[in-house]
Structure 1
Amino acid sequence: MRLALWTALRTLRHRLGALLITVLAVALATATALVVPMVTRQVERGAQDAAQVFDLLVTAPGSGTQAVMSTLFYLDVPIGNMPHRVYQDLRQLPGTRRAVPLALGDNFAGFPIVGTTAAFFDQRLKPTLPPYFRLAQGRVFTREHDAVIGARVARDAALQVGRTFTGAHGVETGPHEDDAGHRQPYTVTGVLAPTGGPIDRAVLTSIDTVWEVHGAQAAQAQAVTAVLYSAENLAGIYTAAQRVNASKDAMAVFPGQVFAQAREALMQGQAAYAGLSVLVLGIAALTVALSVYTSSLERQRTVALLRALGAGRGAVSTLVLLETGLTVTAGVLLGLALALLASRVGGSVLGAQLGFTLAPPVLTWALASRALLLIPLGLLTAVPHAIQSSRTSPLKHLS
């Protein structure tokens, strides 16, 4: 066995060019089969982590997905506004722990300006835990045109406590015709600690400021884009949702249900991609088979010499299988490393686009087993050549 391993390594070294091509083909096939599922799982986990602090979302009637994407992740245009009385009714509902209004519609350098109240900073994952959103510097806004900015806003816009900036109308960057009412500057009073979530790229100000900017000081003109609602218990949350959905002015959305629906759609896409992955891995197996066939032609003289020196057929077969096993194993291991690297880089880029930090990629056994199947599959393709080499007469290639 030791002799066969030594001979296999020497043979592979002499075939370094072909070896590298085969290893690279297997590695690329392995990485291709794993990257998309790994990044998809990163997005799922990142989105759930970013929204886990919110129990119930109340918005204007429309698409639940759009509601979540626009008001929790700031990735879409808000559906519309609701009457202020929706927020008031929720706040006064028995069993309410917290009702936090949101008013969207303006931006600063592409970062959404979110009008809310001080209750926003009291949101918690559990009642016994400290507030989820913490100030790294400064204080919460107390007057109109005070602003608390997310960590990414502070970094990208080079803002700090005491600095001022001017907002613009709309959810996208750029001047608008009606920006005259947005020229009064905001003053940064606080900077949030990084959360890895969408709030890192948000500008938080008092909801009165948003109303004032849009000329809605009168009570009948005041409206909210959404309400983040939390009750003392789960029954209270469902009661509030039923009450909201019974009206025509608003709808209640459970972010978890939206994620579940999105996950079902992703799972269908992953099933199709899994079929494509099998095809890609099959092509890699054919590449291995071609490499085994080519190497068997180059190996004939070596095999003949081994047979002439007394090596048995078993030793010759072992040599062929060892060469193939080493080649495929090297390719699979390199592919796993490439998949982790590509997933990490892709997750960072995608997270920056989505506005929240994605969790590090995780290579589960279920995913790794797809690639590891290439090893026995590669050995299987080498079996016929191993048998053929063991039956080769030494006289034929030494004469």
Structure 2
Amino acid sequence: MRLALWTAVRGLRARAGALALTVLAVALATATALTVPLISRQVERGAQDAAQVFDLLIAAPGSATQALTSSLFYLDTPTGNISETLYEELRDSPGTRRAVPIGLGDNYAGLPIVGTNAAFFDQRIKPKDPPYFRVARGRIFTAEHQIVAGARAAREGSLTLGSTFRGSHGLESRDGEETGAADHHNELYTVVGILAPTGGPVDRALLTPIETVWETHGQDTPDQRQVTAVLYAADQLAGVYVTAQRINAGREAMAVFPGQVFAQGRDVLAQGQAAYAGLSLLVLGIAALTVWLGVHSASVERQQTVALLRALGAGRSSVFGLVLGETLITVTLGVTLGLVLALLLSGVGGTLLGERLGFTLAPPQLTWALAVRALALIPLGLLAALAPAIAAARLSPLRHL
């Protein structure tokens, strides 16, 4: 057996070019089968992490997904506005732990200016946990037109403590267009604090008192004032459901459970992943066929080696093991390289996608279910090599010596 293994290694070294092509084919098939599922899991985990500090999102009626992507991730146009009166009712309702207003409508250099209040900085994953958002430098705003910048917003906007700027109308900047004076607000914003990075969408936000948004947009009286959404948390889980039912029974607003929205998105994503899994199996099958072609093409070159081994006393089982050993080494190298390649691609892809989405994605996490999908190539490869191995074991040494 040791002789067969040594011969297999020597044979692969002699066919280094063909070996490299086969290993590359197996590696690419493995990476193809794993990269998209790995990135999908990163996005799912990152989105859930960003919504874990509150129980309920209350926004104007419309698409629940749009409400979440606009008011939580700052990636979409809000579904509308709700009145300040409704926000105050939620804030003052018995059983309310926290009701945080969100006001959108302006930006600076493409970074969203988000109106809120001091309760925003008291959000916690669990009641006894420290605040989720921590000021790394400076302080929390105490007056209108003061800004607490997210870590990424400070970096991308070249903002430091004491920096001033003017906001622009709209939720994003107009690339390639001159921004006229009419597009700017006259009031200067001043940076008084910079948050520690969280990896969430707030990293690219510019937080200011909600009163700034009202004053900037001419909402001077209580009946004019509006908020884009409210991030709501209750003392008890039952209070969350009672509030959601009460809000959804009316017409002014809707209550959105982030977990339900993510579950719906996961269901849609699962359908796409099921189709992708079928495609992955096809790719893995093609890789197995490539292995078979490699083994079959090498069988002609291997005939003299096999005949010599048989003449030296090697049995049919040793020759059979020689062919399977070469295949096992080839496929294992390809799968290993493919796993590394998939992790690298999903890591880079997750970083780029996170930059696009505005929140940091967790490193790719290879689960057993995904690993088994890749490791299935090893028995497939051995199965593809079974026929050439049997043929080699039956070869007569007298024909090639």
Relative to the length of structure 1, the TM-score reads: 0.98
Amino acid at match of 2:116: T
**Displacement after TM superposition at 1:85 (Å):** 1.0
**Displacement after TM superposition at 1:93 (Å):** 1.1
Question: Which one of 244, 249, 255 corresponds to residue 252 of structure 1?
Answer: 255
**Displacement after TM superposition at 1:230 (Å):** 1.0
Q: Tell me, in whole angstroms, the C-alpha distance in 2 between the residues paired with 1:178 and 1:244.
A: 40
Equivalence for 2:328: 325
Whether contact under 8 Å (1:285, 1:378) holds in the other structure is yes
Q: Tell me, in whole angstroms, the C-alpha distance in 2 between the residues paired with 1:379 and 1:126.
A: 51
Equivalence for 1:64: 64
The equivalences for 1:217-236 within 5 A come to 217-236=220-239
* Dislocated runs of 4+, deviation >2 Å: 174-181
Q: Tell me, in whole angstroms, the C-alpha distance in 2 between the residues paired with 1:309 and 1:240.
A: 84
Whether contact under 8 Å (1:348, 1:357) holds in the other structure is yes
Equivalence for 1:107: 107
Q: 1:181 to 1:36 in 2, by over 3 A?
A: closer
Please state whether the residue corresponding to 1:107 is helix, strand or coil: strand
CA shift digits 1:331-386 (9 cap, x unpaired): 01111111111111111111111111111111111111111111111111111111
CA shift digits 1:22-63 (9 cap, x unpaired): 000000000100111111001100100111112111000000
Please state whether the residue corresponding to 1:376 is helix, strand or coil: helix
Q: Tell me, in whole angstroms, the C-alpha distance in 2 between the residues paired with 1:177 and 1:84.
A: 31
Q: Tell me, in whole angstroms, the C-alpha distance in 1 between the residues paired with 2:181 and 2:118.
A: 28
Amino acid at match of 1:77: T
The equivalences for 1:116-195 within 5 A come to 116-174=116-174, 179=182, 182-195=185-198
Whether contact under 8 Å (1:169, 1:178) holds in the other structure is no
Question: Which one of 330, 341, 349 corresponds to residue 346 of structure 1?
Answer: 349
Q: Tell me, in whole angstroms, the C-alpha distance in 1 between the residues paired with 2:80 and 2:231.
A: 15
Q: 1:181 to 1:311 in 2, by over 3 A?
A: closer
Q: Tell me, in whole angstroms, the C-alpha distance in 2 between the residues paired with 1:172 and 1:232.
A: 36
Q: Tell me, in whole angstroms, the C-alpha distance in 2 between the residues paired with 1:233 and 1:67.
A: 24
**Displacement after TM superposition at 1:177 (Å):** 6.3
Equivalence for 1:76: 76
Amino acid at match of 1:397: H
Greater alpha carbon shift after TM alignment, 166-175 vs 349-358: 166-175
Greater alpha carbon shift after TM alignment, 373-382 vs 177-186: 177-186
**Displacement after TM superposition at 1:176 (Å):** 5.9
Q: Tell me, in whole angstroms, the C-alpha distance in 1 between the residues paired with 2:215 and 2:240.
A: 32
**Displacement after TM superposition at 1:264 (Å):** 0.5
Q: Tell me, in whole angstroms, the C-alpha distance in 1 between the residues paired with 2:38 and 2:115.
A: 36
Q: Tell me, in whole angstroms, the C-alpha distance in 2 between the residues paired with 1:338 and 1:43.
A: 19
Question: Which one of 257, 268, 272 corresponds to residue 271 of structure 2?
Answer: 268
Q: Tell me, in whole angstroms, the C-alpha distance in 1 between the residues paired with 2:215 and 2:152.
A: 26
Equivalence for 2:18: 18
Q: Tell me, in whole angstroms, the C-alpha distance in 2 between the residues paired with 1:92 and 1:217.
A: 22
**Displacement after TM superposition at 1:239 (Å):** 1.2
Equivalence for 1:216: 219
The equivalences for 1:231-310 within 5 A come to 231-310=234-313
Please state whether the residue corresponding to 1:132 is helix, strand or coil: coil
Equivalence for 1:34: 34
Whether contact under 8 Å (2:169, 2:183) holds in the other structure is no
What's the % identity of the aligned pairs?
68
Q: Is 2:383 aligned against 1:374?
A: no
Q: Tell me, in whole angstroms, the C-alpha distance in 2 between the residues paired with 1:279 and 1:196.
A: 37
Gaps of 5+ in 1: none
Please state whether the residue corresponding to 1:125 is helix, strand or coil: coil
Counting matched residue pairs gives 398
Alignment RMSD:
1.1
Relative to the length of structure 2, the TM-score reads: 0.97
Whether contact under 8 Å (1:169, 1:176) holds in the other structure is no
Equivalence for 1:200: 203
